[in-house]
Structure 1
């Protein structure tokens, strides 16, 4: 069952016609799993090459494979503790893949005491770059998923796999500090220290205005959520909202609800424009968001301006933090305190100038 999940995910990002050759990188310890993977691929008339030693991968033909499946290569070879060998594995994989080729990397991390290995490997794959014949290559992150079969049969939530696509990138400018948008967020607004400070203000697992209570009010807009529902969580923080929805309901029925920073109708100040540029925001007015949602094919689109509520939340959070200033300073320091305080003050000014809005879109997918 686990092997079928890997092959299904491979076909989710490719087409049968685009897959003619697959390289399986594995070890002798995975013989049963390897046989299943080979059989599933050969049933689809795909040529499969199997290598069981990393040295064989290093000597693989360049630009030869449409896809590579790594079956527990990193964990079984202890590559997380061998940075140079891990680099060699990824470089060899990139060289062997055709442009646009896909890597499915399955790893069972349940044996590691450090649960952050999942995040560390995701970060590693996302930022890795190498130069071959003057061209910068790396992976474009597609997805990270758990093996459902391992969850249901053994309660193992750390048997996971990454789906990555080989891409060509522009060479980094010497003044460029970040490689991807995810990297930019991780090293600026959403550092570990910033997230801990946000959680102190908004509550555990929440990093957005209003925290648990406000998110629950937003979720109630769905109205008819019932146990057994499924919800798609897109870019809403560090998981608090998804856990909250799971505890209360589980499964929207064809409806979409978006809360999003937006742009008002006032004359945009230079300070606000600099703020937008620094945060890499792509802001639209409420009317533009309604048009975009309708153009995407949704029906019964309702746009609501939540900016007044946003302003009230900012004032409330600023007051609460000022009242507990000494406690905050002990935990996070004056620099973080001043950064947050300045952020609240700036946002309130932006709202008063009708520059910064907080909007909500509610729509229905047509039958």
Structure 2
């Protein structure tokens, strides 16, 4: 969108248009009006438990509900929270919410334009918003984001859900003032916010979870409903000025996996891939799993989703890809919309903190990701819990030779923040986690061959690559591969393939 477009949205005419739009769609204060969908009753029935399951514990906390509407969620929030302040733009919606839910507990209901709302700092543990930000301009959303940071207590959470890319509801609209942003727009805008409190304490938002709303995928084959759970965390301003990062997620998105960096890797590895061997190693390793239609696969460290699309298209499985890098997931989500493949979903989340019900998946699959995680045994125990009986785990990962390492390799590992083990020790972790039929294979020879093949391919596409990116980008990748070959030659760097079964 043009930059000037959003600037015009702050004029009184635009606010008047927004008011008129919702006056038209709030006359009877029904759920169909509020959701702008004739199928609202059925959607609500399935959507509520899915959304509520993503929230942090509500027990005894103070909640600010923005864009509360007629109270679809208010009753559930009031039922557990210590206090709920429910705010909406339209008086009809507020009155309906007050009438239905005021008797349930300690709640207040106010009519207000969110762009004018003023509240005390550090007043809430959770801010809950459903379909609100898409009705704000960029400038309004930025201002509201800073306010929300101030309203939340340190460690508090922001949950919001928006329609991205295009509309969902089937309600006829004479005009539509909604701003259908991309998930990337929300990620970048919200994580760039800063709030300085007294005592020079600086806070910002950290993405705990971001994913599509599954019921819309199942009922409408619509992947445009996206929700976020963010946490208010401290930011060390001095560290930022020194070029440091406060979270590993920041490190990934700002240094190792910038959007430009991801796309240049993809051009080298093949469409959809950013890791060793691209489609060739994916085909080889996926074949070991004997996938069957209808099985459910969890891909930990999914990157931009090439392997996930491959599994879904060729074996008829359902795949949930998760990655800590929001840049990776943004690209994967964009590709998912283009592919129109609702059996593949993606989320931004941390595997070490994510929870799933026991026996949720038939396969856990992970490619060159777990090198970032220190407590591998704990993670493998989670994998074991998430798998159904008879389920399989397949992992490839960077490994190492026996110590002592060369100083160059030690520096490389420290600079990247990797936590590496020998292939043999890796296999022992899987056994200790409860897996059986564990196969731990040192595939360093294959790793070397793949890198050499990739260097040959890089030479063939050199001119095209440099035209798309730069000579510096080309040299960075080629030099990186050359250095990997040298580290493998010394015996320091290894590459392992691991697969096992849950009894």
Higher alpha-carbon deviation: 42-51 or 159-168: 42-51
The more displaced of 247-256 and 66-75 is 247-256
1:326 counterpart residue number: 463
Asked if the contact 2:444/2:495 (under 8 Å) is kept, the reply is yes
| Bigger mean CA deviation after superposition, 178-187 or 314-323 | 178-187
> Are residue 195 (structure 1) and residue 259 (structure 2) matched?
no
Change over 3 Å in CA distance of 1:66–1:10 after alignment to 2: farther
Q: Counterpart in 2 of 1:312?
A: 449
Deviation for aligned residue 1:281: 2.0
Matched, 1:51 2:77: no
Superposed CA RMSD in Å reads 2.8
Q: Following the alignment from structure 1 to structure 2, what is the Cα–Cα distance between the partners of residues 293 and 6?
A: 37
**1:29-77 Cα deviation digits (max 9, x unpaired):** xx3xx421113333446643112322564x2233332321112221112
In 2: Cα distance, 1:267 partner to 1:365 partner? 34
Of 25, 43, 63, 1:22 maps to 63
Q: Secondary structure at the match of 1:35?
A: coil
Q: 1:107-146 residue pairs with structure 2 within 5 A?
A: 107-111=162-166, 117-134=182-199, 135-146=201-212
Q: Which residue of 2 aligns with 1:175?
A: 242
Per the alignment, residue 354 of structure 2 pairs with none
Q: Which runs of 5+ in 1 are unaligned?
A: none
Q: CA deviation at 1:347?
A: 0.5
* Matching residue of 1:265: 402
Deviation at 1:226, TM superposition (A): 0.8
- The answer (yes or no) to whether the contact 2:136–2:179 under 8 Å persists in 1 is no
Offset of residue 108 of structure 1: 1.0
Instruction: State the distance in 2 between where 1:114 and 1:145 align.
Output: 19
Residue 93 (structure 1) shift: 1.7
CA distance in 2, matches of 1:329, 1:93: 43
- The 10-residue stretch of structure 1 (172-181 or 110-119) with the greater mean CA deviation from structure 2: 110-119
Q: 1:116 to 1:216 in 2, by over 3 A?
A: farther
Please report how far the alpha carbon of residue 326 of structure 1 lies from its aligned counterpart in structure 2 after TM superposition. 3.2
- Of the structure 1 ranges 99-108 and 309-318, higher mean CA displacement relative to structure 2 is found in 99-108
Aligned to 1:236: 302
TM-score by length of 1: 0.85
**Distance in structure 1 (CA, Å) of the matches to 2:159 and 2:48:** 7
Tell me the residue number matched to 1:67: 126
What is the number of residues matched between the two proteins?
354
Distance apart, 1:211 and its partner CA: 0.9
Structure 2 CA distance, aligned partners of 1:202 and 1:115?
Answer: 32
- Whether the 8 Å contact between 1:2 and 1:150 is mirrored in structure 2 is no
- Relative to structure 1, the CA distance from residue 222 to residue 40 in structure 2 (aligned partners, 3 Å threshold; closer, same or farther) is same
After TM superposition, the structure 1 = structure 2 runs for residues 207-222 of structure 1, keeping only pairs within 5 Å, are 207-222=274-289
2:138 is the alignment partner of 1:97: no
Between 1:115-124 and 1:236-245, the stretch displaced more is 115-124
Cα offset, 1:8, TM superposition:
4.5
Contact 2:398 2:496 in 1 (8 A): yes
3-state SS of 1:142 partner = strand
Structure 2 unmatched ranges of 5 or more: 1-42, 89-112, 168-177, 318-361, 364-387
Give me the TM-score of the superposition, normalised by structure 2: 0.64
Cα 1:12/1:329, change in 2 over 3 Å: closer
CA–CA separation in structure 2 for the residues paired with 1:3 and 1:172: 48
Structure 1 residues 168 and 199: alpha-carbon distance in aligned structure 2, compared to 1, 3 A threshold: closer
Question: 1:65·1:96 contact (CA, 8 Å) conserved in 2?
Answer: yes
SS in 1 for 2:293: coil
